[in-house]
Amino acid sequence: VTAMLGGPFFLWLLVRDRFPGDVLGSISYMSPEQLAGGTIDGRSDIFSAGIVMYELLSGRRPFQGESPTAIMMKIIHEEAPPLDEVSGAPAKLRGMIAKALEKNPERRYQRAAEFASDLRDLQITIERLIERQQESLRATQTATVPDHSVGPAPAAPAVTQPPAPIGRRCLR
């Protein structure tokens, strides 16, 4: 955008008249404290990450409205609809996203590293579950497939001459 409209100078013009408390960004992904003009820190980013994850799992944003003001009010005052109603995500993941979307920053993950650690732990748990299911499936398939390689091969039928036609015997 800045290259099309005049480079870095345009960017400076865009932000030079900003005052503390001004809102700049996508309203749908802002934290309640950011929308209220409060102090923001890394926990605000965790709230935004929770919105992105919610949207990835459900296909829709947790806070929707007819106008930016309606969306802001929902983010500040309403809870996100529970993910179990709109997705088939594991309960532990739904809980992690709900924690990231807590209105009160003190009840959210306090550091992104804590959130990332929980996500990695869940990934490991899911990978182990998938491995066990695959092993179980392989064992079931092996047990149900007949093994024809064990034991002697069936004997080939003996080759015999067909009996001579009756009419030939009479002619001899």
pLDDT at 102: 97
**pLDDT value at position 164?**
58
What does the pLDDT look like over 36-89, one tens digit per residue?
A: 999 999 999 999 999 999 999 988 999 999 999 999 999 999 999 988 755 778
- Position with higher pLDDT, 138 vs 46: 46
pLDDT(7) > 70: no
Contacts 24+ apart (CB under 8 A), 119-126: 122/90, 122/92, 122/93, 122/96, 125/92, 126/90
Which tens digits make up the pLDDT trace of 75-133?
Answer: 999 999 988 755 778 889 999 999 999 999 999 999 999 999 999 999 999 899 899 98
Quick one: pLDDT at residue 1? 41
Looking at residue 162, its pLDDT comes to: 61
Q: Which of 15-19, 47-51, 120-124, 139-143 has the lowest mean pLDDT?
A: 15-19
Could you count the other beta carbons within 10 Å of the beta carbon of residue 80? 21
Inform me whether the pLDDT recorded for 12 exceeds 50: no
pTM of the shown model: 0.66
